[in-house]
Structures are given as C-alpha cells and as structure tokens.
Amino acid sequence: MKLTCIQENLNFGLQSTGHLVNKNVNLPILNNVLVEATTGGLKLSSTNLEIGISCQVRCKVEVEGSFTVDAKLLSDYVNLLPNEQINIDLEKDNNLKISCRNSNTKIKGIAADDFPVIPVIEKVNPYKIKIKDFKKALAQVIFAVSVSETRPEISGVLMSFNKLEKNKLFMVGTDSYRLTEKNLPVEGNDEEKEVIVPMKTLQETLRILNGLKDQATAEEDLEIYLSENQILFTCGGVELISRLIEGQFPDYKQIIPTETKTRAVIATSELTKAIKTVALFSKTGIFDINLIFDPSKGMTMRATNTQVGESKSDLEVAYEGDANETTLNYRYILDGLSNITADEVELGLVDSNIPFIMKPKGDDSYTYIIMPIKQ
C-alpha cells in the first residue's frame, strides 16, 4: 500500500470513523481503523460490532493494499499535522510509514484480514432529510431516552416514517418518566416504516453531522436506508450502519393529553431561572418542585426540604382555565427548557395525576411531557 493525500481530507475521515473506537481488551483489532487503498481511492472503516462507520477519502493510490492501526493514535497524529500533503506507505516489516513536511512516523499495526466484516445495505430509494432539521430533532429527543438497558425497547429512539403523517418522520424518546416527540419533513422514499434506533447510534450520527463543513450541512441531505434489522445513514462521504433494536415501542400517543384544563405561556428564560432558584430547596434525591396555578398570584413554584429550608417564587403569568397544581422532577423541567429554542414556552396541565405538557410557543412539531411525582 502506498498513497498520498491531503491532511484535511484524511483528518476528516479519521475524525468521522475514529470516535467509535473504545478500548476493547478482548478483541484488540476493534481499537483499530481499517485503511484500504484501491484504485477507487482510500476507504477508512471502524466498527464496534454493533455500529460500523466508513468514509471515502480523496487520494492518489500508487500501490493498492490494506492494513489496520490504532485508530485513536492515527487520528490524534494526523489531526496535529499541517494541512499539507501526507505520504503513507506500508513497509515490509508491517509498519505504516507516514510523512508530512518535516515529520516522519512509523506506526505498528495488525493485518487487515482479521478485521470484522461490516454489514451492507443496498442503497436504493433513501429517505432524505435536511441535515439541519435532523440535528435539531436529535438534540430535542435524545436526552429523554432511557440510559438503562432493562427495557431495551425504550433504550433507543422510535423513528416512524410516513406512518403518522405522510412525508413526516416522527422521532420519540422516553425513559418512562418523561417523553419527547418531534416531527420533521422527510422526502424521497414514501414507504411507511417504524424502527427503534439505539441511542449510541444516533449520538455517533450527530457527532458525524456536527463534523461536516457548514457547506455540506447547508447543501446536502442526510440519506437513510433501512433493511430488516439494520439502518444506514449516509452524508458527506461518510456511512454509518447500525443494528436496530427489536421489540415494540410503547403506545405513547395514549399518554399525551389531548385536552388540558390549565394553559399558560411563559418566557423560557424567566421560567428556567425561577425553577433553578426554587429547586435549590427540593428534597435530596427526589428533586421535587411544586407548580401552583392560582388566580390571585399567577404561577407559583415552591419547594421544601425540611433539613435545609424552603423557597417559593411567584411568576406573574396570565393563564387560561382552572386553578391547578402538580409536582414534577425539576431536572426534567430544565432538560425540556434547555432544548426549547423558542423565546416562550407553552405549558399545559390536566391535573396532578396526568402528565404535564411543554411545547415551544407556536411550534406544534415538538412536544415534551413529564410524568408527575405522586404526593
């Protein structure tokens, strides 16, 4: 193997594929990146056996070949090199020789034969999504996904294509204490499909999308292909393939209240500050905060920790509907508020036993609900 390429291109490929790799003691080759030079160009690949990422890098191949080296070492090294030409040469003693300007390095590695095969999906008729839309949607949904593996079906995000609405992708995340639902436009394939995608897969996808140049983000679409048990994301020359989660996602629509008894609109920043202030006095480990809608005072937040003290804050809020109250985990409220980019947030409440609703004002594409703490 012998090739030359530009640092910027190689660096992008290594940053895209490299992060996936964790120290794997049982199968050391999983810590490596597969470097394959063919007449078609240079391909970098990494895998943790659940997710595989590959990236095409523009280069000039003199001698074809393939090899694997420690992914973190190679990407850290290339990241520090100047943006100039890099020469890569696989020496006979199984060292990958890398030269760039005044720097010369040899990295030991493992033969490519032992590298696991990454699954393939036929790339026909993709779902197409604006990268900007998908990045925002992911951030709004992913934080609510269960980190526990006890219920695998909620350890990922439900992605529902064209099923609830034509040309819409619905994304839903929950940990059974709170739930987010976001919908966004989808083009291309108009087939109805519903899959559960592991959180880690979506985190890696988000990382790759964040690494794209602004130009690519503005011009290109994210393309999504599905097979029986795999999902493939492609954009900007990077492909990420992952297993899907088997199982049935909860029938979440039934727990989102369709009618509320109390409705208020509040400045997002003001509510955030009031919650943080009062929350200092919530009970240790329970994180409870009491929200009271009272015609004489507007909205009051209150918390009491018998060992520490008590606090309350009144917000002058004109609300519609009944006097009402509920008790919520304040950390869940703050999680929701930090993912609402609108200046104002709409709150909706039925009663203290029914989930509390938050939405960005004037944006029906996003709904966040929080289960109440029973008193």
Using CB under 8 A, list all residues that contact a copy of itself: 70, 73, 76-77, 80-81, 95-96, 102-108, 273-274, 276-278, 280-281, 307-316
> Phi and psi of 52, rounded to 5°?
-125, 135
Choice between 2 and 312, CB closer to a copy of itself: 312
Choice between 164 and 265, CB closer to a copy of itself: 265
Q: What is the 3-state secondary structure (H, E, C) of 85-126?
A: EEEEEECCCCEEEEEECCEEEEEEEECHHHCCCCCCCCCCCC
At 252, is the secondary structure helix, strand, or coil? helix
Element at 311 (helix H, strand E): strand 309-315
Hey, what amino acid is at 152?
Answer: P
Choice between 38 and 103, CB closer to a copy of itself: 103
CB of 28 to a copy of itself, least distance (A): 11
CB of 372 to a copy of itself, least distance (A): 24
CB of 338 to a copy of itself, least distance (A): 15
CB of 227 to a copy of itself, least distance (A): 38
- What are the tokens at 238? 């990077």
Choice between 81 and 289, CB closer to a copy of itself: 81
Choice between 252 and 281, CB closer to a copy of itself: 281
Spatial separation of the C-alpha atoms in residues 329 and 334, rounded to whole Å? 9
- The answer to whether the CB of 314 falls within 8 A of the CB of 300 is yes
CB of 318 to a copy of itself, least distance (A): 15
Over its C-alpha atoms, the chain yields an Rg (Å, rounded) of: 25
CB of 222 to a copy of itself, least distance (A): 33
Choice between 216 and 265, CB closer to a copy of itself: 265
- What are the tokens at 142? 């992913």
CB of 36 to a copy of itself, least distance (A): 20
**Within a 10 A sphere around the Cβ of 251, how many other Cβ atoms?**
7
At 291, is the secondary structure helix, strand, or coil? strand
Between the alpha carbon of residue 240 and those of residues 72, 148, 271, the distances in Å are 18, 24, 39
Choice between 149 and 316, CB closer to a copy of itself: 316
From the number of C-beta atoms within 10 Å of its C-beta (0-12, 13-18, 19+), residue 180 rates as: buried
Between the alpha carbon of residue 220 and those of residues 125, 215, 282, the distances in Å are 16, 8, 46
CB of 334 to a copy of itself, least distance (A): 12
**Within a 10 A sphere around the Cβ of 339, how many other Cβ atoms?**
20
